[in-house]
Amino acid sequence: MRLRQFSVATINLYNLQLPGAALNPNQQPWTVAEFDAKIAWLAAQLSTLDADVVGLQELWHRDALVAVLQAAGLTDTYDVLADPANGDRIVCAALVRRGLLHGTPRWVDRFPDGVRLESTSGEDPQAPAIAITIPGFSRPVLNFQVELRDDRPPTEVFVTHLKSKLPTAVYNEGWYRRDPGLYKPHTTALGAALSTIRRTAEATGLRVLLTSVMKDSDTPVIVLGDVNDGQSSNTVNILTEQPRYLVGESRGGADNGLYTAQTLQEYRDSRDVYYTHVHNDLRESLDHVLVSEQHYDNSLRRVWLFDGLTIYNDHLNDEDHRASGTTDHGLVKVAFRYQPYAP
């Protein structure tokens, strides 16, 4: 196998679950009609995307994903990576074009040993001690390899779904119940802080996983997913380690850095029209494709040249995603072509 070009995509499936089966608290199960609409819409999107690797978030049941492939006529096109999706929790999943999967996929629940969020001193003597005890990911990270060319190392792919910005509900916590008068006016702030802390910890956990693969190696890496934060957020900065973007005659690349496809596309466009989510009329880019230096145009170790990013987000104008079968996130597709750096 020696591909000359390939593409990846990421899709938040908006709770793809079998009809009648339980979803999150306070969410009604899908009716048969709603499920059928979701299947038809997702099938059409997959056919349009025609990506070689598709990272998926918010999958509840493998059979629901299989139904999408059947509706699209793509059953023989993709390997389905969705082992833990038995309907009782949300998982990350993926579709990999047949013949590309290398090795066995794994789902990582626990943070790696290198994650320790604790400080008693630091550089600021006025800062109180801090200790965060979060042992793992809200949604297990999916990690697998694809072999795009037999003359190059396999590419490591990570599919992630970090904690949302939705404030964590605290009204059932023991400390809240003991003094609701004190805490009730502040539930939004407290809940938002908890969600942000959790998302930051999860980004750190994923970053440690990435570093273990990327540091001092030529292994190509791609991260696909809904990180629930924007391109310049601290969440994304933790994941990418903020490499420099060089232009003109400059040549570089960061061994341990990741480059956002959004930024790579902005170098090609005269204006930024990238958004994948709308909430309270605020358009944000929450869904990302992050790539290592092997996919960065100006890297000395470039193997794949960035060949464009496409956002499918017209459906975000739908007022009722349940009725239309659409998702509440835009779909992101990024293409590359084989063109190693030549000095």
pLDDT at 252 (0 to 100):
79
Identify the H or E element spanning 159.
strand 155-161
Who's near 137: CB < 8 A, 6+ residues apart? 108, 109, 110, 111, 160, 202, 205, 206
| Domain-embedded: residue 272 | yes
pLDDT for the residue numbered 54: 98
Does 41 fall in a domain?
yes
Asked whether residue 236 is assigned to any structural domain, the reply reads yes
Say if 130 falls within a structural domain.
no
Q: Based on the number of CB atoms within 10 Å of its own CB, is 192 exposed (0-12), middle (13-18) or buried (19 or more)?
A: middle
Residues of the chain with pLDDT under 50: none
The candidate with the shortest Cα–Cα distance to 301, out of 251, 257, 337, is 251
User: pLDDT tens, 280-291?
Assistant: 666 778 899 999
CA terminus-to-terminus distance, the chain:
26
Residue 288 belongs to a domain: yes
Domain count, the chain: 1
Q: Global pTM?
A: 0.95
Q: What pLDDT does 124 receive? A: 84
What residue numbers bound the domain in which 33 lies? 5-109+139-169+196-338
Least Cα distance to 53 among 140, 139, 142, 164 occurs for 142
CATH code of the domain covering residue 228: 3.60.10.10
Residue 118 in any domain: the answer is: no
Question: d(Cα 142, Cα 326) in Å, to the nearest integer?
Answer: 24
Residue 298 backbone zone (phi > 0: left; psi -120 to 50: alpha; other: beta): alpha
Report yes or no on 322 lying in a domain: yes
Kindly report the length of the chain. Answer: 343
pLDDT of residue 231: 86
At residue 250, the pLDDT reads 59
Distance CA 255, CA 6 (A): 22
